[in-house]
Structure 1
Amino acid sequence: CLLAFRFLRSAMASAQTPHWSRLLVIGVTLGLAASGMHYSAMAGTAFQDAGLCATPPTLGQDLTSLSSAFGEHVGLATAIFLILLTVNITGIVVAVFDHRLEDANRKRAEALALANEQLNVKADQLTDELALEKSIFEAAVDATQDCLWSWQPKTQALFISQHLNSLLGTNPAYTITSLEELEVRLHPKDLKGFRQAFKKTAESPDNQLHLKVRLRKAQGDWLWVLIRGRRVHRVQGEDDVLVGAISNFEAQQKSEDEARQLAEQQRELAILRSRLVRILSHELKTPLAVITASADLLEATSQPRDARHEKKVASYFTGIVEAVERIQVILDHALEFNQLESLDAIAKPQWCRAASLCEEAIKWAEQAQALAPGTLVRMASAALTDEAMVDPRFFGLVAQNLLSNAIKYSDGKPVELQLHCSSDLLSLDVLDQGPGIPEAEQGRLFKAFFRGEAGSSKPGTGLGLSIAARAAQAMGGELRLVTSGPKGSRFRLEITCPTRSTQA
């Protein structure tokens, strides 16, 4: 018992001993004390029964008396022992539970500390990323020279970044905090559209704000700006807000104005060119007719003096007629080209016999080249009676110009015309025996006024193939160069149109 109480005193005196250990020590101490008293009482009873304590010494007497006292109450000592033993076991169970709970709390605290450390690391990473994104965004805004704005419809509060001052040349301390203050700087002609656009954008998030307006600068002149924005939804419980950017649109607006002016000038030039061609064709046709008629009269009334004089006068008349015919061709080409370039070039398709149109084109080409009928151009066609839904005027223009071009470059060699008519397709091929077209010139072949190396020594305007290509396009067809070489070239016209077969 003394050893137990000494251990108890040392355990209770130590500040590092946990509470559960102290409870355990108390329980063990009480159990040992109760057990010692119990066995001391049992020993005292046994000593008395044996007569060993008749004349005990002082200490033995005291122990014997104490043992006798406890011996008389053995039952009570046993009950106390059991109670203390129960308390001891309960203390041990509580101590073990407290130890496990403390261990669990410690592990939980360590886990929370680790999780908190991880969250701190993640928060630092997000902070760094946010700072990087912010710097990139600021650099992008500075690079685009845009100023940001936001407007709250409920409070009517307007925020515009300070970059607007650099655009307008105003004082850096100058701020605009409402739409009314911004409207003061708007051009009067842009005010109505500005209000309507803002109202429409504020009504629905689907409406985008894209508005070009003029703002008055500090010097008094006007600056074109582009205002873009949209309505965005913020966190729940807060009102929507309009956000966007204001960009300097002065250079783009200037380019648009210049392009518009250039288009207007081109339109006016086209009108003037059309008028000039019409005037020239009208004014020149009359004197040409007079020249032609006069030449005919001179030829009919002139009395040749001799054979030499007669031959000389005849050459004069021939020169006059050839010059007049050449001028007539030039005027016809100019007039046809002008009509095809204008809005008048609208095809009027009708049922026509394609073979008949080709025959008319052959007669025209032979007359223009002063050839005997059937001597140079031959037509190969298996569809002499077939009809196609085409514009006869435009189809004739294509055939005439292709034949005229082929005769001019074939130098007296035969020219062949091939006509094919199938289901919903009409094709016309013209084959010449000219020197061929260099590959470098083939890409510019159908451009107006283009004349290749071989055509520099030939008379012409450079409009024949261009007129043919435009006429084919007006009919919804295509004119192209199929082949070209030293032995000649092949041009093909293809038109997608209804066709039908008829009896001759």
Structure 2
Amino acid sequence: MSAHELSKILIVDDLPENLQALEALLRHDQRVIHQANSGDAALALLLEHEFALAILDVQMPGMNGFELAEVMRSTSRTRHIPIVFVSAAGRELDYAFKGYENGAVDFLYKPIDPGAVRSKVAVFVALDQQRRETRRQMLALERSRQEQETLLRELNQTQQELQRSLKMRDEFMSLVAHELRTPLNTLFLETQMRSLQIKRGNAAAFAPQQMEAMVQRDERQIKSMIRLIDDMLDVSRMRSGKLSIRPTQVELMSLLERIVSDLSLQAATTGSSLTLQPHDPVSGCWDEFRVEQVIVNLLTNALRYGGGQPVQVSVEQMGECVRIDVRDSGKGIAPGDLERIFEPYERGARNGEPKGLGLGLYISRQLAISHSGELRVTSVAGEGSTFSLMLPCTAVPVCA
């Protein structure tokens, strides 16, 4: 039995020789004896320790044993402690009756019977040990119950996450099949038409001008599939921490001019237009390919959901950072969707059917974070949305 599990017994008497004799009588390897030579000293010990039994001398100067017992019974901390009174007074004083009135479990007259005292104390020590063991078991049961509740919550959460993952997997596979089917079907129909023209011997269908149009259509469909595959690979690399960022010195305005120029034809097919607001050259240490990927994603989304309205790109230097804004004039984004659209496989449907795998904005935000920057959006219903890419001009990945 460890020291903190030993039963503690309090003996109170104003005579040192009585304390020594009683301690010698009660000493045992399962007990710790505490002595007090007055009621005040006993109260100090009672506030500090938890006792299995208190043996109180009745006749003490100052606070006598009955008064000490009355104080003990009035306090919740000490109310439960069994009290045994000891007195040298004659039986005719009827102290025993008064002792029981004060909550004593027993009353002993001096000279005390050593055997009787030992047996009585042994009973209370056994009760104390049983009470302590019961309390330990109750605490252990409570801990076990709490651990089981925690485990059950974790299991339920894991099950929900697993179900969500399975649902996302099924939806993802459905999305991939749907998104790849369109360009593949187009290519398949193109090959069938060409085979038919070859069988008919229609060489005019393969004139240089027609061939150029065929090649351009094939390139568009192939690029569409490659982009879908690249997006899936990027997400996989991000989640495994294997996405590489290769920063070099980049002049931002010339990069934006090239992107806007490349997408102008796509904008025209939607009835929209792209405009880059003039700005002085801005240089920074970024991965040019990844920054271009983010800007292309933002512009493609703006054209897709902009309702055919003009799309504007602007740049603002903000101390050691630069902010690129892509602003459309579409229907806007609902407040509850402003963060959801950055989750993987979440697709906006502001203009009819959603398109793509819903990875573009997720990838874009992760690429911004990889540059120690951020990507955020503001939107007003009916007035459009503004996506803002913040990039530090001196990125954490130091340029070679």
TM-score of the pair, normalised by structure 1? 0.42
1:392 is matched with 288
Gap runs ≥5 in structure 1:
1-111, 136-158, 168-224, 228-244, 307-311, 500-504
Q: How many residues align?
A: 272
Among residues 307, 322, 328, which one is paired with 1:426 in the alignment? 322
Q: Return the alpha-carbon distance in structure 2 between the equivalents of residues 341 and 324 of structure 1.
A: 26
Q: Which amino acid aligns with 1:380?
A: Q
Identical columns (%):
19
Q: Which amino acid aligns with 2:241?
A: L
Superposed displacement of residue 321, structure 1: 6.1
2:71 is matched with 125
Q: Return the alpha-carbon distance in structure 1 between the equivalents of residues 80 and 249 of structure 2.
A: 70
Alpha-carbon spacing, 1:165–1:113, altered in 2? closer, same or farther (3 Å): closer
Alpha-carbon spacing, 1:388–1:331, altered in 2? closer, same or farther (3 Å): same
Contact 1:381 1:420 survives alignment (8 Å): no
2:63 is matched with 116
Q: Return the alpha-carbon distance in structure 1 between the equivalents of residues 190 and 137 of structure 2.
A: 77
Per-residue CA deviations over 1:341-392 (Å, capped at 9, x if unaligned) read 331135343321122332343345446x3748xx8212124232x2112232
Superposed displacement of residue 332, structure 1: 3.1
Per-residue CA deviations over 1:272-309 (Å, capped at 9, x if unaligned) read 99xx9xx99xx99xx89996996998799773679xxx
2:309 is matched with 413
Among residues 217, 238, 247, which one is paired with 1:349 in the alignment? 247
- Aligned partner of residue 63 in structure 2, secondary structure: helix
Alpha-carbon spacing, 1:300–1:430, altered in 2? closer, same or farther (3 Å): farther
1:454 is matched with 350
1:484 is matched with 380
Alpha-carbon spacing, 1:247–1:414, altered in 2? closer, same or farther (3 Å): closer
1:437 is matched with 333
Q: Which amino acid aligns with 1:425?
A: C
- Higher relative contact order (Cα pairs below 8 Å, separated by 6+ residues): 2
Among residues 365, 369, 387, which one is paired with 1:473 in the alignment? 369
Superposed displacement of residue 468, structure 1: 1.3
Q: Residue 376 in 1 paired to residue 273 in 2? A: yes
Gap runs ≥5 in structure 2:
1-58, 83-128, 396-400
Per-residue CA deviations over 1:50-99 (Å, capped at 9, x if unaligned) read xxxxxxxxxxxxxxxxxxxxxxxxxxxxxxxxxxxxxxxxxxxxxxxxxx
Superposed displacement of residue 404, structure 1: 0.5
Alpha-carbon spacing, 1:453–1:304, altered in 2? closer, same or farther (3 Å): same
Q: Return the alpha-carbon distance in structure 2 between the equivalents of residues 366 and 339 of structure 1.
A: 31
- Aligned partner of residue 241 in structure 2, secondary structure: coil
Contact 2:375 2:389 survives alignment (8 Å): yes
Per-residue CA deviations over 1:398-420 (Å, capped at 9, x if unaligned) read 21111100111223322111122
Alpha-carbon spacing, 1:258–1:247, altered in 2? closer, same or farther (3 Å): closer
Superposed displacement of residue 324, structure 1: 4.3
2:225 is matched with 327
Alpha-carbon spacing, 1:438–1:304, altered in 2? closer, same or farther (3 Å): farther
Q: Return the alpha-carbon distance in structure 2 between the equivalents of residues 336 and 433 of structure 1.
A: 30
Alpha-carbon spacing, 1:412–1:263, altered in 2? closer, same or farther (3 Å): closer
Q: Return the alpha-carbon distance in structure 2 between the equivalents of residues 165 and 389 of structure 1.
A: 63
Alpha-carbon spacing, 1:463–1:305, altered in 2? closer, same or farther (3 Å): same
Per-residue CA deviations over 1:245-278 (Å, capped at 9, x if unaligned) read 9867862795599599889989x99xx99xx9xx
Superposed displacement of residue 134, structure 1: 7.2
- Aligned partner of residue 277 in structure 2, secondary structure: strand
2:202 is matched with 303
TM-score of the pair, normalised by structure 2? 0.51
Among residues 362, 384, 388, which one is paired with 2:260 in the alignment? 362
Contact 2:267 2:273 survives alignment (8 Å): no
- Aligned partner of residue 454 in structure 1, secondary structure: coil
Contact 1:436 1:487 survives alignment (8 Å): yes
Q: Return the alpha-carbon distance in structure 1 between the equivalents of residues 352 and 318 of structure 2.
A: 39
Superposed displacement of residue 485, structure 1: 3.4
Among residues 381, 390, 394, which one is paired with 1:494 in the alignment? 390
Q: Return the alpha-carbon distance in structure 2 between the equivalents of residues 359 and 327 of structure 1.
A: 26
Q: Return the alpha-carbon distance in structure 2 between the equivalents of residues 132 and 116 of structure 1.
A: 18
Higher helix fraction (1 or 2)? 1
- Aligned partner of residue 346 in structure 2, secondary structure: coil
Superposed displacement of residue 316, structure 1: 9.0
**Which structure has the greater CA radius of gyration?**
1
Contact 1:357 1:395 survives alignment (8 Å): no
Q: Return the alpha-carbon distance in structure 1 between the equivalents of residues 151 and 316 of structure 2.
A: 54
Q: Return the alpha-carbon distance in structure 1 between the equivalents of residues 287 and 216 of structure 2.
A: 36
Q: Return the alpha-carbon distance in structure 2 between the equivalents of residues 226 and 348 of structure 1.
A: 55
Q: Return the alpha-carbon distance in structure 1 between the equivalents of residues 390 and 231 of structure 2.
A: 23
Q: Which amino acid aligns with 2:358?
A: G
